[in-house]
Amino acid sequence: MKSFSWLSIVIAILGACVVFAFAGSWLRRRITRPDLFPYTMSLAMRLSGIVMNLGWKLKVIPGMRARTSRELIDCLMSTRAHQLLPLSRAYVRLDDLETIRKGNEALGLSSIFDTFCEAVRLKQSPYTHPLQKPNFFIPGVPAKPFYNAADFGFTRMLEDAYAEIRAELEGLLERSASRFQAYVGGDGMVQPGWNNFYFYLFDKRNEENCAACPKTVSILDSIPRLEKTMAMFAALNPGSMLPPHTGPANGILRVHLPLIVPDKCRLKVGDEERRWEAGKLMIFDDSFVHEVENRSDNVRIVLFFSIYHPCFRDDEIGALQDFGAAWRSLPVTQLYENFQLRLRPGGLLLKHHAVAAAAAPAGQVGVQTHIQE
């Protein structure tokens, strides 16, 4: 009887997926309209949790238990419609923005809600790209993997402050390298080799960490349109890589100020690959599939933060902040935040005088360190 029950659930899920896949556009749009959106999306999340739970219990997906936490599965299965109401309201507000209205029109969408029922990324437009795969797609944002740092007003200020920021980082590494913590993905698994020192995490300021690097934080706080989900020193250990992945949404850009950058480090965003240069900003859109690799024998560390995309007017930022708050209120996002707050010890590898060996940018004097192997 128990096996029949599981079989019935599997058949029901597969049947629902087939119906949805072959349903007409009209039906898909109807069930993702604002008043039904919380119910449709919570059901989809619960179904995905049930499928993952089956894979976990029946061991039909090799290695699944090593790649997915039990907590994530339970979180998905317990999600309810009322928990998605803030996100639905935030989407209604986004629909009112001129930037998004233009994107909807260009993509043939009646609303931003249509992005959940159409393969928008496969449409040809200035706002889409096949390698751009965020969970939450915002119409009207140019689809471009890398941006010219010279086009941003804060670039000169940050690059001029390179030596001061790096000096604070080196002092931190000398005194408190153990305060870097291991990064944990949304699946609950530790990402090997990636260790962070957070100044802001999910819009919350870490006062102790900020006090350790006051000049760095002062500069961060002066940057216009700073998005505070994560701002940090991000370190990638020697011989480590971050496999292909995407950020949660377009509409924000990631900024790196490279501080310690040995050779043989690369960042690939979409189908473009670039390498960091110490003291020179790199700005990219992580809603594209991207990967990072450090093939050197020294650690790579950047100052990492995010800004709202320049395509949005200043008076539109409030709606984007509401969307960010609604995203952070989702049970799966709160679980993701909780994973980071557990303060798992990092494994920062500093060897061969890694910090001192990194070259300073042209025209500036390198800041030395006294870190030993």
The CATH number of residue 248's host domain is 2.60.120.330
Q: What is the pLDDT of residue 23?
A: 53
Q: Which residue intervals of the chain are DSSP H helices?
A: 2-22, 25-31, 37-58, 64-67, 70-77, 85-95, 98-107, 155-160, 162-176, 207-212, 214-221, 317-329, 331-341, 354-357
CA separation, residue 108 to residues 101, 124, 125, 178, 306 (Å): 10, 11, 11, 51, 29
First vs last C-alpha separation in the chain: 62
CB 48 within 8 A of CB 23: no
Q: Is residue 136 one of the residues assigned to a domain?
A: no
Residue 104 domain-assigned (yes or no) = no
Are 305 and 199 contained in the same domain? yes
The answer to the question of residue 234 being in a domain is yes
Q: Are 298 and 259 in contact (CB under 8 A)?
A: no
Identify whether 168 is part of a domain: yes
Instruction: Tell me, yes or no, whether 170 and 75 share the same domain.
Output: no
Sign of the CA dihedral running 71, 76, 78, 81: positive
Q: Alpha carbon of 228 to those of 119, 185, 224, 254, 287: distances in Å?
A: 30, 18, 12, 11, 17
Per-residue pLDDT at 24: 54
What pLDDT sits at residue 17? 55
Q: Which of 79, 111, 129 is the last residue of a domain?
A: 79
Residue 320 belongs to a domain: yes
206 and 301 share a domain?
A: yes
User: Does residue 167 share a domain with residue 19?
Assistant: no
Which pLDDT score, from 0 to 100, does residue 138 have? 97
**Which amino acid appears at position 264 of this protein?**
K
Distances in whole angstroms, Cα of residue 361 to Cα of each of 129, 249, 264, 276: 34, 32, 17, 11
Is the Cα dihedral 180, 186, 189, 194 positive or negative? negative
Residues 152, 34: one domain? no
Please check whether residue 115 lies inside any domain of the structure: no
Which residues of the chain fall short of a pLDDT of 70?
1-29, 60-65, 346, 351-373
Q: Are residue 167 and residue 291 in the same domain, yes or no?
A: yes
Q: Which of 42, 60, 79 is the last residue of a domain?
A: 79
Domain annotation covers residue 257: yes
Helix (H, G, I), strand (E, B) or coil at 124: coil
153 in the same domain as 72: no
Q: Do 231 and 331 sit in the same domain of this protein?
A: yes
Report the sign of the C-alpha dihedral through residues 131, 137, 138, 139, in that order: positive
Determine the pLDDT at residue 16: 54
Looking at the whole model, is its pTM more than 0.85?
yes
Burial of 24 (0-12, 13-18, 19+ CB in 10 A): exposed
Q: Are residues 203 and 342 in the same domain?
A: yes
Neighbours of 19 (CB within 10 A): 10
State the total domains in the chain.
2
pLDDT at 183 (0 to 100): 92
Res 119: pLDDT:
84
CA torsion through residues 181, 183, 188, 189, sign: negative
Same domain, 291 and 152: yes
* Domain boundaries, position 335: 146-357
54 and 152 share one domain: no
Residues 153, 275 share a domain: yes
In a domain, 370, yes or no: no
pLDDT computed for residue 117 by the predictor: 83
CB count, 10 Å around CB of 44?
Answer: 17
